[in-house]
A = this chain, B = another copy of it.
Amino acid sequence: MDRRKSQPASPIPPTNVGLRDVAKAAGVSTATVSRAMNMPEVVSVELRERIATAIRDLGWVPHGAARALATRRSGAIGAVFPTLSHGDFARAAEGLQGELTAHGYTLLLGCSQYDLAQEYQLVRQFVEGGVDAIALVGTTHQTELTELLTRRRVPYVNTFNYDPLQQVDCIGPDNRKAMRALANHLIAQGHRRFGVIAQSVQNNDRAAARLQGIRDALAEAGLSIRPNHFTEGRWSIAEGRALFSTIIARNPWPTAIICGNAFLAVGAVLEALSRNIKLPGDLSIVGYDDVEIMRELPVPITTLRVRSDDVGRRAANYLIAALNGRRTDIALECDVEIVERLSSGPPRRRLAAGQHKAFVSGDEGPKRREL
């Protein structure tokens, strides 16, 4: 049972090699070694090579904390996401990390679980850890958080909730505009009764913006969401199913259901399929965010596509630019694209037969809505 790797104590070479050891070995001063690392072009080729050799021989690895202390730059950039396992945050984190690494920065990552207090704690931990800059999700944070960042002069960006009216920079899609466009699209197709499976607005300004976008579009068309047709969930497919069931339990049905995120939409569609409801003949369902499963389901789902990895990458570049004092020309708003698939279309059954796959289930009699 015991298989701890015992420290091979002795066979290990030098362990505490420092800059001075390298300098000594190369027969130069510590300053020169430092320069050879940070401004090579300023050191003569000969010395550079002698130093390189010494470094290799000694296996020296520079000490980050010491460098950070001296330069007042840690090379670390923090990011706090609500979560990594839902939505597109994992992709954004990957894009962010890739871009940071490409520029020699390192990523400190934290998940707030959609909790503003946790977000603040993480940011504080990062600041103490000495991050040079920070990326946040959304525009709503505890006031202590922004105060801390401002006082310590730590550059930061918000992400995933671009809003032209907002004072502070935020890189990402305009959730409100995007959902408004999607709702308008459905309205243009003739839909008048809308169901909504919203993402919980709790500590989630992106969700709030999306919901507002829907309301905007409906209001402009003189419509509104019946309380009966409004539900709220978080991210699971199971929730999407349950809330979908709730909505269609009331009469009359909406002709279109807008879901606040991808998983809720997947759940709604799967539940519709298992109830033998024809999409989009009987009902249209649309989502937000595009994940692979959405285009692979028996009835692929209409949704809004955001390049989340790009959000991460832009956030990285924004912060790096800020750190270099460069005025950033990075576009804050990220494009959103309506990806139209078979789960939505004009209401009633105006769709030509055979244009969509039908799903037949044996275990429940087909429920039909009243028209």
Binding site for B on A (CB under 8 A): 3-5, 7-8, 12-15, 59, 61-66, 68-69, 74-76, 83-85, 90-91, 93-94, 97-98, 101, 104, 106-111, 121-122, 124-130, 148, 150-153, 167-169, 236-238, 241, 263, 266-267, 270, 273-274, 292-293, 296-298, 327-328, 332, 354, 357-363
Q: Are A354 and B359 in contact (CB under 8 A)?
A: no
Q: Are B101 and A293 in contact (CB under 8 A)?
A: no
Q: Are A76 and B129 in contact (CB under 8 A)?
A: yes
Q: Are A359 and B359 in contact (CB under 8 A)?
A: yes
Chain B residues contacting A128 (CB-CB under 8 Å) are 61-64
Please tell me how many copies of the chain the complex holds: 2
Q: Which of B8, B83, B108, B363 interacts with A76 by CB under 8 Å?
A: B108
Q: Are B90 and A151 in contact (CB under 8 A)?
A: no
Q: Are A238 and B296 in contact (CB under 8 A)?
A: yes
Q: Are A167 and B357 in contact (CB under 8 A)?
A: no
Bound form: Cα–Cα A270–B357 in Å: 13
Q: Are B111 and A5 in contact (CB under 8 A)?
A: no
Chain B residues contacting A4 (CB-CB under 8 Å) are 169, 327-328
Once A64-B130, A293-B266, A363-B354 are accepted as A-B contacts, the answer to whether A125 and B106 lie under 8 Å apart by CB is yes
Once A124-B61, A266-B293 are accepted as A-B contacts, the answer to whether A97 and B110 lie under 8 Å apart by CB is yes
Residue of B nearest to A297 (CB): B270
Beyond known contacts A65-B69, A66-B69: 13 more, CB 8 A cutoff: A4-B328, A12-B150, A12-B153, A64-B129, A75-B129, A84-B84, A85-B90, A90-B90, A93-B109, A97-B111, A238-B292, A270-B297, A359-B360
Once A130-B65, A362-B357 are accepted as A-B contacts, the answer to whether A101 and B107 lie under 8 Å apart by CB is no
Bound form: Cα–Cα A152–B296 in Å: 48
Bound form: Cα–Cα A234–B173 in Å: 30
Q: Lowest 5 CB-CB distances: which A-B pairs, in order? A: A65-B68, A64-B130, A84-B90, A109-B109, A90-B90
Chain B residues contacting A332 (CB-CB under 8 Å) are 3
Q: Are B151 and A122 in contact (CB under 8 A)?
A: no
Chain B residues contacting A75 (CB-CB under 8 Å) are 129
Bound form: Cα–Cα A323–B150 in Å: 34
CB distance from A321 to the nearest CB of B (A): 11
Once A8-B150, A129-B75 are accepted as A-B contacts, the answer to whether A236 and B292 lie under 8 Å apart by CB is yes
Chain B residues contacting A5 (CB-CB under 8 Å) are 167-169
